[in-house]
């Protein structure tokens, strides 16, 4: 399922995303794209260079929304495992994260993501496993 502009607006109305500078731009068909225009607090102690934990959050979040686009009504997703590598310093923003599903087996989704800097260089690579779960009523 593709997320509508209204759904994306609701996703982006999130205190964590505002604090870090994250914006979900697209989500659907097992893929998602997010941008990171890091805030000053997200770049402490190095101005202009987001902390690795911020990049991890962007990768985990973007992969989760991509996996969520494969879930059905009344379902959500949970991160089972997430790993990240940092092949280059994140010094030239803004940044773009692209995530895509590699495979869905039953209720398990395997994902991959990368973050590109403003010069189209890869600054982070991630992969994760997500579980589609049924939401509990009440």
pLDDT at 138 over 70: no
- In degrees to the nearest 10, what's the CA dihedral of 17, 35, 79, 129? 180
Q: Where are the domains of the chain?
A: 5-134
- Kindly tell me the sign of the dihedral angle through the C-alpha atoms of 38, 40, 42, 48: positive
8 A C-beta contact, residue 137 and residue 124: no
Across 49-75, average pLDDT: 96
Superfamily of domain covering 5-134: Hotdog Thioesterase (3.10.129.10)
Distance CA 122, CA 115 (A): 6
pLDDT, position 136: 78
Question: What is the band of 1 on the pLDDT scale with cuts at 50, 70, 90?
Answer: confident
Average pLDDT, the chain: 95
Say what the pLDDT of residue 114 is.
99
In angstroms, how far apart are the furthest CA atoms of the chain? 47
pLDDT higher than 80, residue 137: no
Residue 62: phi, psi to the nearest 5? -65, -45
Angle value at C-alpha 68, between 67 and 71, nearest 5 degrees: 100
Say if residue 103's pLDDT is above 70.
yes
DSSP per-residue letters across 63-88: HHHHHHTT--TTEEEEEEEEEEE--S
């Amino acid at each position: 399922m593709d997320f509508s502009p209204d759904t994306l607006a609701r996703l982006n109305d999130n205190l964590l995303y505002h604090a870090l500078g994250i914006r979900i731009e697209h989500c659907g068909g097992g893929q998602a794209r997010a941008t990171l225009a890091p805030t000053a607090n997200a770049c402490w102690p190095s101005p202009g260079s987001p902390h690795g934990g911020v990049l991890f959050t962007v990768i985990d979040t973007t992969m989760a929304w991509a996996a969520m686009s494969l879930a059905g009504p009344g379902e959500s997703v949970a991160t089972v495992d997430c790993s990240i590598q940092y092949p280059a310093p994140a010094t030239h923003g803004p940044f773009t994260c692209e995530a895509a599903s590699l495979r869905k087996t039953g209720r398990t989704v395997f994902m991959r993501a990368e973050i590109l800097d403003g010069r189209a260089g890869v600054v982070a690579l991630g992969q994760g496993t997500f579980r589609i779960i049924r939401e509990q009523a009440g």
